[in-house]
Chains A and B, each alone.
Chain A
Amino acid sequence: MNGVLVGFIVYLVILAYIGLWARRFTKTEDQYFVGGRKVRVVAAALSDKASDFSGWLMLGYPGQAFSTGLGAFWAAIGCLFGTLADYIFIGPRLRIYAGKFRAITVPDYLEARLRDDTKLIRILGAIIILVFMTAYVSAQFKAGGKALSQAFGLDVTTAVLITAIIVTAYVLTGGFFAVVWTDVIQALFMVTTLIIVPIVAASAIGGLDKAVEIMANVDPKHLSPFGGATGLTALIFAIGYASWIVGYFGQPHIVTRYMSVEDPRKLRRPGIFISGIWTILVLWGAFFAGFIGFALAKAGIVHMEDAERIIPAMAMTLMPSWLAGFVIAGILAAIMSTADSQLLVASSGYRGI
């Protein structure tokens, strides 16, 4: 437990430092909401992905791979192509118009692009953002609270409040720059965690082949690409899981990253490569963590009540406490990196009202 606490404190110190450093560059509204459109592409691309993948990546998706098996990989395919589609269809174009119109929020851009003098788009956009982003950010605070509560044995309400206070503090202090650069650290935590966890899991079970052998004995459907379905049902299965791609085009906390980047041409190269490669690594890692985690649970090596807790359970059982602390920080990083971006976008809703 001490190692977990030390890992978490180190993580908080890094967040606090970035929040304070970012204050220097956060004086105007333009800087607070889009970093003065001068954010480095490496930071914008990593922040884009860290904001996109919430606690779902560390808890929900491994839980799906645990419960469904190989078929859950279709969700990863949807997310991967959604990421690429964002760059191909939205990123550079949105950045070009955001600069031309001096837009700092998505409603600003839509109002200018559609030449709306009635303020209808601005007000409707603000209401949609306020309602849905506030609900979305609340879900992240709740997930963060649950993770903290499990790691430190805190009461869930207290843990939710601690998560909300930490995130609000650095968003208020450093605005967009703080959100982006904390997201960069969080993205690195997430990718490292999701490389380490499946390797440790595979080594604990005796290799991937051994895990597959256990799955074949317990539930052969786990090894089917379509969860055992055939024909039209298999097609619907795959489309259902891959439908994540649809959500990619309408998430303001993600697309604002493109509006902030220093040069739209850099979203093409290296932007799409940074986001694409990071996404491949984390999705493969999260998938194999849950997939192999199923074999570990069936072999009686790891115990947990809920499939979504497979990563924390593996960390606590298979790793030394300092490494488990790193993994718990990775889970919190996934949650906070989405919560901070959503909080910033939700707060921009006031501009329409």
Chain B
Amino acid sequence: MLSTEAWATLIIPTLMAIVVMFVYGFWDKITGKEYLVDDEILGYDEELLKEERT
């Protein structure tokens, strides 16, 4: 059987990564702040938008 030390090496960093994912993923909900995004920032390609509409 794999030792407790070995399982800890595999599982603890993976769990830490999942926690980081959730904290960053929901940071806007936690703090109530989100990136400010407008049409200028989205900067879509006009030709592509026309193609999508057709």
Please list the residues of chain A having a beta carbon within 8 angstroms of any beta carbon in chain B: 24-25, 27-28, 30-31, 35-38, 70, 73, 77, 80-81, 84, 87-88, 92, 96, 98-100, 102, 208-209, 212, 223, 225, 262-265, 268-270, 272-273, 276-277, 280, 284
Contacts and interface: CB of A to CB of B under 8 A. Distances in A.
A276 B47 contact: no
Nearest to B16: A81
Interface of B: 1-3, 5-6, 8-10, 13-14, 17-18, 20-21, 24-28, 34-35, 37, 40-45, 47-49, 51-52
Contact of B1 (A30, A81, A209): A209
B37 A36 contact: no
Contacts of A270: 25
B41 A96 contact: yes
A96 B21 contact: no
A225 B41 contact: no
A96 B34 CA distance: 12
Given A209-B1, A268-B24, A269-B25, A81 B17 contact: yes
B18 A264 contact: no
A324 B47 CA distance: 44
Nearest to B1: A209
Contact of A84 (B20, B27, B44, B49): B20
Contacts of A263: 37, 42
B47 to A, nearest CB: 5
